[in-house]
Each structure stands twice: as structure tokens, then as C-alpha cells.
Chain A
């Protein structure tokens, strides 16, 4: 059981997290944050293995990982 959370307001939509997730469960949301970026999100939380690859690549420390 693992969980990732995104501080959406800090996300700049760079997609680095998307590119490294081994489970390919990170997607860009259809909505915009207040800076005008489409934030990254995970819908299928149960598929997350808590590897923290996404968090390690995020230049804006948007992601927290729980296990």
C-alpha cells in the first residue's frame, strides 16, 4: 500500500514525474491551477508502489509519498 499526494498549486506541469513513473499512473489533469498549469495527478492510487521516482524528479517538491 502506497500513496502519493500532489501540492497542486505548486505544480508547473513539466511532466517529469509522468515520464519516470514505472507504473505510468501519473497524468496531467484537465483543470488548471491558479498559475495556469495543468497539474499532475494520480487517480489509480492502488497501483502506486511508493518508489518515489516521481517525487525525486519533481523540481518543485510538489509530491509527497507515503507507504
Chain B
């Protein structure tokens, strides 16, 4: 019998701290699989965010740096410019990237930095206890919007891919989801493609991955996958927004 599915080398073989059923673990594994398949582990540097994924450097089996809240794209810019032969990626949540880090992500994308951004959007602040995020859905109940997000006073969910797609420089922008095995496979393809863009020196690549937070959404992990599919996907449509040129294999 041949092993057809196993533990990726680019993921450290240790338990993660994520809540049961949190899809961060799936996304970590997809990133690790992409790094394995492109055989770039030895020269990859991860930049960890602040948020639930703050300990990502304990999980990816490559060099890593941890950035101040929201600053991962700026730190990645510095690393990539100093060491242009390395593969540099950030792994950021929506609180980190779309709130305090909005300036850094917009300008890194606008400069067309040759880095890869994995943007994990679960429509809430997970680590700090389920507060409203810029990506929280209209009417969604959180600890700071107990009656549901009121768009009259707090605006609407920020669609990061659509917004960055108005810029000229980015090379690859896609939004994927991990709510079922089919979408997990599509997410894997997009993440691998984003890294391929960087390997081939094509410039800025970002993959937004719709993710769950069963704990702060107050659901079972299986219910959370359904909730994501039924509520988040309509607000954050899946697809490739930018794919400047096909990467030669």
C-alpha cells in the first residue's frame, strides 16, 4: 500500500493550539503542501501576524519572523528586498490585515512587492474574544455588536480582494474557501499558484481564504462550515480577481 495522504514536510510535526475544528489548521497544511511541492522550503521565510495565528512560526517548518500587529507586509518587504532569492510570505487574519494593517497591505500591493500574502478571513476577531472586525457581516452578532453589525454606524464588510484589484501592480489576487473538500482542493491550487508567481518573480500575490471560527461564532465546527458557505460566500464571492500572466511551469 502506498501513502496517498500524509504529513507535509513544511509543517512541524507538533500539535497546534487552534480550537477544535478551526480551519486555520487546514490552511496551514495547504501552505505547507504548496511549499513542499515547489521544493522551496529551505529558502522560505514566513512572517507571522498578531492574532490567532501569532504562533505560526511554531508550525511552519521554515525560517520565520513575527511582525507587530498588521505590519507583516512591511516586514516581508524588508526581508524580500534584503534577501531577494528567498521566498517570503505573510500569514494574516482579517483583524490584522484589514483593520490595523490596512495601510501596510495596500502599499505593499501597490508597490508590487514580490511577496505572497495568505489572508485568512473569518469575519471576526478570534484571539481577543470575538469582537466585530472590518469583515464582519451586516447583522452578524459579535461581542461588540451584540444586536448584530449595524451598517448605519459601522459600515459594511471590507472586500479586500476587490479593493486591491483596483491597483495596477498586483500580479495575482484570488479568494477561495475551505468549507468542503472540493473547495479545499481549489484553495490549495490558488495558494500554490500564488507562491509560483513569487518563485517566477512576477510580483505581489495574495490569496484570501474564507475560514471559520466555531468558538466565537458559537457553533459546532460542522455548523460553522455551513454558516461560512451560506453567509460568507455570498458577501465575499470566490474566484480569481487578478492573474496577470500564466506562470510557465
A binds B: yes
Q: Is the CB of B21 within 8 A of A15?
A: yes
B3, B21, B26, B184: the one contacting A65 at CB < 8 Å is: B3
B221, closest chain A residue (CB): A14
Total interface residues on B, using CB and 8 Å?
30
Q: Is the CB of A56 within 8 A of B225?
A: no
A57, A58, A60: the one contacting B15 at CB < 8 Å is: A60
A53, closest chain B residue (CB): B181
B27, closest chain A residue (CB): A59
Q: Is the CB of B222 within 8 A of A56?
A: no
B21, closest chain A residue (CB): A14
Q: Is the CB of A16 within 8 A of B5?
A: no
Instruction: Answer yes or no: B2 CB below 8 A from chain A CBs.
Output: yes
Total interface residues on A, using CB and 8 Å?
28
Shortest CB distance A23–B (Å): 13
Q: Which residues of B contact A51 (CB under 8 A)?
A: 181
Q: Is the CB of B15 within 8 A of A10?
A: yes
Q: Is the CB of B4 within 8 A of A67?
A: yes
Report the bound CA distance from A60 to B182 in whole Å.
18
Instruction: Answer yes or no: B6 CB below 8 A from chain A CBs.
Output: yes
Q: Is the CB of A66 within 8 A of B16?
A: no
> Top 9 A-B pairs ranked by shortest CB distance?
A59-B25, A14-B21, A12-B20, A65-B5, A66-B1, A14-B20, A14-B221, A55-B5, A53-B181
**Could you write out 23 A-B pairs with CB less than 8 Å apart?**
A12-B19, A14-B21, A14-B222, A16-B222, A53-B181, A56-B26, A56-B181, A57-B26, A57-B180, A57-B181, A58-B26, A59-B21, A59-B24, A59-B29, A61-B7, A61-B25, A61-B29, A64-B5, A64-B6, A65-B3, A65-B4, A65-B5, A66-B4
B contacts, CB < 8 Å to A: 1-8, 11, 15-16, 18-26, 29, 180-181, 184-185, 214, 220-222, 225
A contacts, CB < 8 Å to B: 1, 3, 10, 12-16, 18-20, 37, 50-53, 55-61, 63-67
